[in-house]
Structure 1
Amino acid sequence: MDWDKLRVFHAVAEAGSFTHAGEVLNLSQSAVSRQISALEESLNLPLFHRHARGLILTEQGELLYKTARDVFSKLAMTEALLTESRERAQGPLKITTTVAFGSLWLTPRIKDFLDLYPDIAVSLVLYDGELDLAMREADVAIRMMPPRQPDLVQRHLLTMSYSVFASPEYINEYGKPESAADLDHHRIIVFGDDARMSAPVANVNWLLESGATPDRPRSPVLEVNNLYGIFRAVKSGLGLGAMPDYMISPADNLIQVLPDIAGPKFDAYFVYPEELRHSRRITAFRDFLLTKIAESH
């Protein structure tokens, strides 16, 4: 297969039109169209269905696109490794983690990382789902559960547990629970049903059950689809919420209640593709994380 034509095909499949692909490749629409037609002729099969609204990959086109996407992804990764300095860590570093961990723990520490490594260009993707690291949707991830993708390197970072927190305003209005049974008389903020699948523990809404009796089931005052939302709701004084310890800092002015009640524990992992094992950017960021975690414990 002609490499230039495959490169044009990949761009067209990504862009969905000859015009947009031409803009990316700095080629005219007609030049792009000719390259695709020539590739289809050499393979003796159509790669796109052409219609007024754009292009749709044929079944054979989908197969070729998946292969081309993998090839170009591997090339991009190899290029990054080849151009990375032997003397110091530099270049782009795309990090993904959950909304809560990224917003409340990681982002405030990024300045220290960039002060140490000014030649690394960091971008953060805060997302409670899982990006495909093998396809270079990100270079590295901090995950709240072991990775499900194969061919990923994982390093255990720390074990975290849930505790119960409330704002001073809430406690002034509703009082402080002294036992788990007292939660029957309090406003509880929990995960919604649509978010439980992505939660790091199976019993993430354990506050609804701790100390409760079957004849008096508890109902939450609010359901939220991620931890950061629970944090903001608790901080506003709406109710009590169970959150991992890493989310709370002295500046948040939140008060831990029911400290004797042990919430579920879960582990955080540092995850990256096998191909980046020797990347100085990855090593630098991993060591930085381990240092910051050690400082906070």
Structure 2
Amino acid sequence: MIIPKLLSVFFLQLVCVHLLVLNGANAQALKEGFYKSKCPSFEAIVKNTTASFISQAPSLAPALLRMHFHDCFVRGCDGSVLINSTSSNQAEKDAIPNQTLRGFQVIDAVKSAVEEKCPALVSCADIIALINGPSWSVPLGRRDGRVSISSEALANLPPPFFNITQLKASFRSKGLNDIDLAVLSGGHTIGISHCSSFSNRLYNFTGRGDTDPSLDPNYIVQLKKKCSPGDANSIVEMDPGSAKIFDTSYYSIVKKRRGLLEADAALLNDNVTRAYVQLQANSGGSNFFKDFAVSMVKMGKIGVLTGNSGEIRKICN
């Protein structure tokens, strides 16, 4: 669309206000038990199918959590991260930040099982959201988006090297506050990271062959044993010794200046996020699980499509 220059700013302001109102209305349309009458076995199918995969490969749990985050931060929680690229379009899935996403086979298996029982009723977006909510109630009713563009993933997903100002701006642009940032960062208590995501902190932080002064020197020694210069493929646990357990030890690690990513360390550079890190590190996890559920539900409402918007895809990719 071509907009005359004198009208462009005003038009964009109107669009932003309209989208905020529309997104708020769509989020309100989500509700718990959305499929209770139409597909009463839906949630059980999701739970049982997902459990069968994770029992064989526990590392899929953090992978699916990450997928939900990467879906919601681009075009909202609409399942667009699942769409395959075509000869005429490179989709989100193939953007650099998403090339290490895993767990698509779990989504496909759940969708196939749901389609067999309740054809053309359940969205792929709702499947992603529900897979990540085994311990809290997840409002449902999302519909699937039709658009998936690689460049939008690159523009919207906060990279591992963001500082606290950039992180806060990224989260706020999605309707999430600074506490949500601190809480959702706690998801790094499970899972792994590739050396390429933090190796600059070990070998070339400012371009002078130096290390990141915010990272514990003793931890740097340990990390260098696992990640040699230029190593892009080796992996390191985000929360050493507890990477398969969803607990609060992540915050103790960050407090000790052993947060693996620059984005983890950045939490100590803001009064609000630092206070949350210290609270969880000192209290052994005061209210963290409750806080995490609240922030996950909030994130799961970003930019959702409901009602007659979007579609219900039979095949998620």
Structure with the greater relative contact order (CA < 8 A, sep ≥ 6): 1 or 2?
2
Greater share of residues in helix: 2
Q: Normalized against structure 2, the TM-score is what?
A: 0.30
Q: Normalized against structure 1, the TM-score is what?
A: 0.31
Greater share of residues in strand: 1
Q: Which has the larger radius of gyration?
A: 1
